[in-house]
Amino acid sequence: MDAGGDGDGTHTSIQFPVKLYTTADHKPPNEMNFFADKKHEVGGDDRSEFTGNYSDGNHNDVNVNTGLHLQSPNTIGALDEGTSMDCDDKRSKNKLEVELERMSIENQQLKQELHLMMVRLKKLEEHEEDPKPIKDERETMMMPMPMPFIDLGIASLEEDEDFRSPFEGKSQISNLDSEQVLACSNKVPRLNDSKNDGSSNIDQATEATIRKARVSVRAKSEAPMITDGCQWRKYGQKMAKGNPCPRAYYRCTMATGCPVRKQVQRCAEDKTILITTYEGNHNHPLPPAAMAMSSTTSSAARMLLSGSMPSSDGIINSNLLATTLFPCSSSMATISASAPFPTVTLDLTQSPPAGQPQNFSGQTTALLPQIIGQSLYNQSKFSGLQLSQDTAAGTMSEIGQLSRAGLANTVTAITTNPNFTAALAMAISSIIGGGGDGGSYANTVVNNNNNSNSNMNNKDDEFCFRQN
DNA sequence: CGATTTTGACCCGCGC
DNA sequence: GCGCGGGTCAAAATCG
């Protein structure tokens, strides 16, 4: 399993030699500042004639230092005229010209990239002018325990307006106002959003891919199927090539027409490892016990496609989940965009790193679905914030151009963002700590899990939630 | 008797 | 066009 994103030669991030922070900002360079005081007024809207020089009175903070001795074509010409035409130096002169031409092209590319970044900066500053959404986002981010099922339920209900869940009317959705629902919904902007008319095709494709994106969970278990809180009906079984163990196909039966499917198969190399692959979004509210796993699949898939677009080699960032979910581990999650559909693999079979408390690892194993679900939920909301800011002005093409760099930015932003760190810490402490509201949440999950899922009695299942 | 599982047949996409 | 493999369907069998 390849989880070493940086060491495998497939790292696709771009390091811009453009300095966006100066020492005058007094901010660490790795901290993404979404909410800075608005003190730098970006000039007119028309930046198409941007020349790369923002070092005027209004942009002292944007110290554009490419680290290169950039040469414009005019400069090249002046250099050319001032150069001696000595025939003995012709070869070296040609070499110099090629180098200058290369630097000139590089200069143009850097200008374009800088222009895009300035556009994004301007949008972020414009976003500050309407502080309410940001406030809501912050409040939502710090809500004790937002229920991640909202994404799954609402998203699918919007997609299928004819569907009326049997849970409707009793749903917890009704307890939230629409603003909270929108804030909690870690979705990419809707297709029919008037602000996104220019990017509907890309959005549509993304949505379709998200529906097809898969999350695979590897876990050691003697049980035939992991307990995830949903009700499943087996509809097929096939012998897969290269594996003596049959692959079983299940579909969700908690609501008629629920498109969620899962495949269960034992690993050919180690038959104690159970590989469960989830696909699709539920079109109905889920019991708390099922939310974690379902939000894991949905959020992971969404994050996979919103925060990190596939690279050309099919491997995106195998460390993204691992480093954000489990900073102490580097081999628990793999993201692959190889055909046919992008897949997030959560490997829960790894032993805890040396030095990690054993009791913590045991609890982590038992509570992983909750931790993963909550963490990915918060995380995807954060990356969703970035995405929504960009897509609000119909700049999906810009995202595409910046996707490679955006991946690195997203990773940095997620891992360094204090909100995410706090949310992750809160999610873990609320589940494991057992104190205060978080403890009651954990107990609720345990109780619901015990009461639901009558046909899955996997006592030795590692996914069974255990009371402390 | 309804719900669920089993299992062979069928469909479809993909590579050659 | 053909074969292969993955995924799904649906009738029969089984279960509670």
- pLDDT over threshold 90, residue A249: yes
At residue A136, does pLDDT exceed 70?
no
Whether A296 is in a domain gets the answer: yes
Residues (203-232, chain A) with CB within 7 Å of strand B atoms? 231-232
- The integer distance in angstroms from the CA atom of A249 to the C1' atom of C8 is 9
Q: At residue A275, does pLDDT exceed 60?
A: yes
Residue A357 scores a pLDDT above 50: no
Write out the residue range of the structural domain in which residue A222 sits. 208-301+331-348
A454 touches strand C (CB under 7 A): no
- How far apart CA A12 and CA A5 sit, in angstroms, is 9
Q: Does A71 reside within a domain? A: no
Amino acid at the residue A418? P
Nucleotide nearest to A263 (CA to C1'): C7
Strand C within 7 A of A261 CB: yes
A170 touches strand C (CB under 7 A): no
**C-alpha–C-alpha distance, residues A337 and A313, integer Å:** 8
Burial class (CB within 10 angstroms; exposed 0-12, middle 13-18, buried 19+) of A437: exposed
| Listed range (A120-124, A145-149, A278-282) with the worst mean pLDDT | A145-149
Nearest-CA neighbor of A344 among A382, A306, A391? A306
pLDDT at position A128 is: 52
Nearest-angstrom CA–CA distance, A26 and A33: 12
State the nucleotide closest to A242 in CA–C1' terms: C5
- Residue predicted with more confidence, A355 or A185: A355
CB burial of A62-96 (b: ≥16 within 10 Å; e: otherwise) equals bbbebeeebbeeeebeeeeeeeeeeeeeeeebeee
Q: Tell me the CA–C1' distance in angstroms for A207 and B6.
A: 35
Which pLDDT belongs to residue A212?
Answer: 63
For the purposes of burial, counting CB atoms within 10 Å of the CB of A435, is it exposed (0-12), middle (13-18) or buried (19 or more)? exposed
Return the axis-axis angle of helices A418-428 and A396-416, rounded to nearest 10°: 60
In the sheet where A273-279 sits, what is the strand order?
A: A232-239, A246-252, A261-266, A273-279, A214-220, A343-347, A333-336
* E strand intervals along A280-360: 333-336, 343-347
The arithmetic mean of pLDDT across residues A110-125, rounded, is 73
Q: What is the pLDDT of residue A234?
A: 92
Provide mean pLDDT across the span A407-413. Answer: 37
Q: Report how many domains make up chain A.
A: 1
pLDDT level of residue A338 (50, 70, 90 thresholds): low
For residue A293, give the 3-state DSSP assignment: helix
Question: What's the CATH code of the domain at A262?
Answer: 2.20.25.80
Residue A40 counted as domain residue: no
Q: Which helix (H) or strand (E) holds A444?
A: helix A436-451
**Residue in the block written with tokens 């509907």:** A200
**Which of A240-244, A298-302, A435-439 shows the lowest mean pLDDT across its residues?**
A435-439
CA A304 from centroid of its chain's CA atoms: 5
Q: Which nucleotide is nearest to A224 (CA to C1')?
A: B5
- Record the tokens describing residue A308, joined without a space: 């990190």
Nucleotides of B under 7 A from a protein CB: 4-9, 14-15
A421 — pLDDT class (breaks 50, 70, 90): very low
Distance A396 CA to B2 C1' (A): 51
* Domain membership flag for residue A55: no
Cα-to-chain-centroid distance, residue A361: 25
pLDDT above 70 (res A455): no
Nucleotide C8, nearest residue via CA and C1': A236
Helix (H) / strand (E) containing A250: strand A246-252
For residue A114, tell me if it sits in a domain: no
% of residues, chain A, pLDDT over 70: 24
> What's chain A's average pLDDT?
50
For A159 and B11, how far is CA from C1' in angstroms? 26
Which residue has better confidence, A91 or A28?
A91
Q: Which residue's CA shows the smallest distance to C1' of B3?
A: A233
Does any domain span residue A237? yes
Structure-derived torsion over alpha carbons of residues A422, A423, A428, A430, reported in degrees to the nearest 10:
100
Say how many C-beta atoms besides its own lie within 10 A of residue A367's C-beta. Answer: 23
Strand partners, A279: A214, A261
Task: Kindly state whether residue A229 falls inside one of the protein's structural domains.
Answer: yes
pLDDT grade, residue A127 (50/70/90)? low
Residue A247 has pLDDT above 60, yes or no: yes
Contact A70, A100 (CB under 8 A): no
Residue with CA nearest to C16's C1' atom: A455
Nucleotide showing the shortest C1' distance to residue A225 CA: B5
Q: Average pLDDT for residues A32-58, to the nearest whole number?
A: 36
Which 332-371 positions of A have CB less than 7 A from strand B? 339-340
Find and list the nucleotides of strand C having atoms within 7 Å of a protein beta carbon: 4-10
Q: How confident is the model at residue A250 (pLDDT cuts 50, 70, 90)?
A: very high
Strands (E), A289-439: 333-336, 343-347
- Rounded distance in angstroms from the CA atom of residue A183 to the C1' atom of nucleotide B10: 45
Element at A400 (helix H, strand E): helix A396-416
Task: Report which of residues A253 and A431 the model is more confident about.
Answer: A253
Q: How many angstroms is C1' of B10 away from CA of A235?
A: 15
Report which residue type is found at A302: R
CB of A253 lies under 7 Å from some atom of strand B = yes
Find the Å distance, CA of residue A261 to C1' of nucleotide C7.
Answer: 11
pLDDT band at A175 (very low <50, low <70, confident <90, very high): very low
Say what the pLDDT of residue A418 is. 39
- When pLDDT is averaged across residues A129-152 and rounded to a whole number, the result is 37
A261 neighbors A212 (Cβ within 8 angstroms): no
Rounded CA-CA distance A73/A71 in Å is: 7
The pLDDT assigned to A346 comes to: 79
Mean pLDDT of A111-128: 71
Interatomic separation, CA of residue A342 and C1' of nucleotide C12, rounded (Å): 37
CA of A229 to C1' of C12 (A): 30
- Is there a domain that residue A380 lies in? no
Q: Nearest nucleotide (C1') to the CA of residue A280? A: C7
CA of A280 to C1' of C16 (A): 31
For residue A323, what is the enclosing H or E element? helix A320-325
Provide the CA A235 to C1' B5 distance, Å, integer.
Answer: 8
Q: What is the pLDDT of residue A350?
A: 64
pLDDT at A36: 36
Neighbours of A139 (CB within 10 A): 11
State mean pLDDT over A51-58.
37
Residue A236 beta carbon within 7 A of nucleic strand B = yes
